Amino acid sequence: MTDLTLKDFFQIGKNAAQLYPQSTPCLQPQAFRVLQRQRGTEVGEDNLGAVPTDKDNPFFWSRRWHNAKYNPNSISFEWPILTMFEAYSESKDSPMGDIFRRCYRVQLSVLDKYKEECTTIKHRGCEARTVNQIYIDTEKILDGVLKYFGKTVIATTDDCSTPKVYYLPWLIVQRENAGLNFDVLFELQDKLNAQNPTVRFGRVERPTQQIYGTEVFLNFCTTNCESIEYNLDIPDFGTVAFEAGCSNC
């Protein structure tokens, strides 16, 4: 493994939400979701459109659901949330060849809920935020998430010779505390910097749902694409007579 797949890319986002340092609730992602619909309508659902089997895939995670021991009958979440969505992809080389490069355009967003009723009376902290403050807070979280992406590497270690995805600061701590040696084969930061010389941030506003936030689009290219070998030996089961399947002949 010397390159990442799109699912690996989503998994990094999920890890970033899970491991994001604890702060006030509105400055820490409380859930992660890879959106399934272009308009992201699942953010208006109580469970973000998740199902129990999402526990074991890279498409969803919720801090509240984690704390509830992943009860399959109680999938829920709290705000703010980190979302990802594959806007589109394109092939840089011929997809008919043995090896080609596919580039994805992925949207990353941090969204939060504006509680209008909480601004009409005296509140403090997260409950008293206006939309403009939500924009500032979600941008701060998104900056932190991007820094996590930048510290992601593919490496081998003394314990595992198979290349895997790691968070580089974790590897450094393991080397200092446990003497674990590692060899970095790939740094995501270098690839993302090359593919995204300019990164433009934008605001997200969904007034009817009272959802606001900050978004960014990243280009992510990979050569780690699926390959297929066709079966050249087709079993011969004979031929059913024409009359056997013809009832109105």
Say yes or no to pLDDT of 73 above 70: yes
pLDDT digits (tens, 9 = 90+) for 81-117: 999 999 999 887 666 666 678 899 999 999 999 987 6
Three-class HEC string of 136-190? HHHHHHHHHHHHHHHCEEEEEECCCCCCEEEEHHHHHHHHHHHCCCEEEEEEHHH
pLDDT digits (tens, 9 = 90+) for 173-208: 999 999 999 999 989 999 999 999 999 999 999 999
Domain spans of the chain, in order of start: 6-149+198-224
What does the buried/exposed string (b/e) look like for 145-163 if buried means 16 or more CB atoms within 10 Å of the residue's CB? bbebbebbbbbbbeeeeeb
Q: How far apart are CA 17 and CA 3, in angstroms?
A: 22
- Would you say 61 and 32 are in contact if contact means Cβ atoms under 8 Å apart? yes
Identify the pLDDT of residue 235: 81
Residue range 46-58: average pLDDT?
Answer: 93
Q: How far apart are CA 230 and CA 227, in angstroms?
A: 10
Identify the pLDDT of residue 128: 85
Identify the pLDDT of residue 58: 96
Residue range 216-232: average pLDDT?
Answer: 82
